[in-house]
Amino acid sequence: MLLVHGIAGSSQTWDEIIPALARDHTVIAPDLLGHGESAKPRGDYSLGSYASGLRDLLGVLGHDRATVVGHSLGGGIAMIFAYQFPERTERMVLVDAGGLGKEVSIALRAASLPGAELVLPLLFAPPLLRAGGAVAGALGRVGLRGGPDVEEIARGVASFDNAQSRMAFVHTVRSVIDPLGQRVSARDRLYLAEGMPTMVIWGDRDRIIPIDHGRAAHELMPGSRFEVFHGAGHFPHRDDPVRFAEVLREFLESTDPAYIDDEEARRLLRERAVA
């Protein structure tokens, strides 16, 4: 299983579900380029580049195929991975995924504005970064829980402690978002998921990417599954990690991996071209 985190996140977002999944599966959860402990070069932060990097990572680790689970930005990367490398994709799981509609939170749209890279150092000055990084810990010490959305956002803010991380964040945002919203959409290619076991998971209280995107994607992929986590926000795998792991395990156990070779991929493309 290849677990792909979202923007400003890291592999830590999966910490609560990895042990349950790793009992029966090999789990790979990398930090994407420009995120977490990975390098943050001046380079290509497009979805296609991320997908190619994950393909290379699987190859280096000796895995030809995987079930790809993508959250938020990682969902967009998962769809591009399945599109570019269908022969390497056994199943696809989209969790509150980007790339399925225009709407997205105003904070991410603001980060795409010209000059955002000049403002970020002011917004994320050391005192604010320390405060952001301390939010989850402070709540825990007094026996309170701010909720996964608050915790994950605070952890993301705390990661902007150097110029390289801030620039990687801005480059990644601008590759998929502009001031009007998400500018990359996979909706016109979702028909290519035919024959590939696919599941869409969404928190019904997501304030970053609306659940309507998930419903629309489910309808465009006949045979896909749609799981709603009631009361969850943008991070359902953090809101209810036990149920999330169970849903994933059941999905893998009840579906056969896809085998989409070049000929099958050509057939799907030709059918849509004729239609």
Catalytically active residues, by annotation: 72, 206, 234
Nearest to residue 231, comparing CAs of 148, 142, 154, 138?
Answer: 148
Residue 32 is classified by DSSP as P
Q: Which residue has the tokens 């599941």?
A: 199
What is the full DSSP assignment across 93-118?
A: EEES-SSS-S---HHHHHHTSTTHHH
Residue 128's alpha-carbon distances to 45, 131, 158, in angstroms, are 26, 5, 8
Q: What is the layout of strands, in order, in the sheet containing 66-71?
A: 2-4, 66-71, 89-95, 198-203, 225-229
Q: Which residue has the tokens 């028909």?
A: 191
Cβ-contact 66, 2 below 8 angstroms: yes
Cβ-contact 66, 226 below 8 angstroms: no
Residue 258's alpha-carbon distances to 52, 63, 86, 265, in angstroms, are 20, 15, 9, 12
The rounded distance, in Å, linking the Cα atoms of 149 and 125 is 22
Which phi and psi (to 5°) does residue 78 adopt? -60, -40
The greatest distance separating any two alpha carbons of the chain, rounded to the nearest whole angstrom, comes to 62
